[in-house]
Amino acid sequence: MMSPDQSKTPRRPVYMVAAISLAVLTTSILLTTAACSPGLLALLYVISKEQESVNNSNSNAVDPRCPPPPIDLTGTTISYVNDVRPILQANGCLSGGCHGGTFPSNGYSLRDYNPSFGPGDDAEALGICAIVPGDAGASFMIEKLRDNPRQGARMPLLREALSETEIGIIETWINEGAQNN
């Protein structure tokens, strides 16, 4: 039986405990050999950032700074499921190596609808949200889809840019309230 204090502590799923244990072991090994190889320090940094991403990633978590909109499907012409998500899928944005995997690139997850509103590392550095329902112009996602964003590189990285038609569909979806429809 748990004490009252134990019942208040959230329990991590077993896979997260295992991942954390592996990261601690890996960190210990790397620290003991880091003095011999400066390259290992860079590797240690990458591992720590990936572990931070695992600890902070809940595939359906809502970032309170950038919440999804309340449901209101009146006047929407663009569907997230039928129009926006297929564009992201076709352009590789939802792949495991980009924003759809366990370790989303730049801390920005497109795995599910809710976390797509929260800022990734680039948007957070600017103090803005990736998607601002009703305002595509204030949405960092749109800026990142075009050349020369204020922070980071144009997305999708190392792929052909989205067409203006595709970006327009995403802009319209955001301007219509970025509904989960």
Identify the pLDDT of residue 1.
Answer: 42
Q: Quick one: pLDDT at residue 81? A: 96
- Number of domains observed in the structure of the chain: 2
In a domain, 62, yes or no: no
Which pLDDT does position 179 carry in this prediction?
96
pLDDT at 146: 97
Does residue 71 sit within a domain? no
Q: Say whether both 147 and 98 belong to one domain.
A: yes
Q: What is the pLDDT of residue 5?
A: 47
Q: What residues make up the domain containing 42?
A: 4-56
pLDDT of res. 37: 59
Do 152 and 101 share a structural domain? yes
Residue 141 lies in a domain: yes
**pLDDT for the residue 69:** 94
pLDDT at position 54, please?
46
Res 12: pLDDT: 44
Domain end call among 56, 71, 91: 56
Residues 103 and 39 in one domain: no
Supply the pTM of this predicted model: 0.68
At 3 the pLDDT is 41
| Same domain assignment for residues 169 and 84 | yes
Question: pLDDT value at position 85?
Answer: 97
Residues 20 and 94 grouped into a single domain? no
Cis peptide bond N-terminal to 13, omega within 30: no
Q: Is 70 a domain residue?
A: no
Q: What average pLDDT values come out for the chain (181 residues) when binned by 10 residues?
A: 43 48 54 55 54 50 88 92 97 94 92 92 95 97 97 95 98 97 94
Residues 52 and 99 placed together within one structural domain of the fold: no
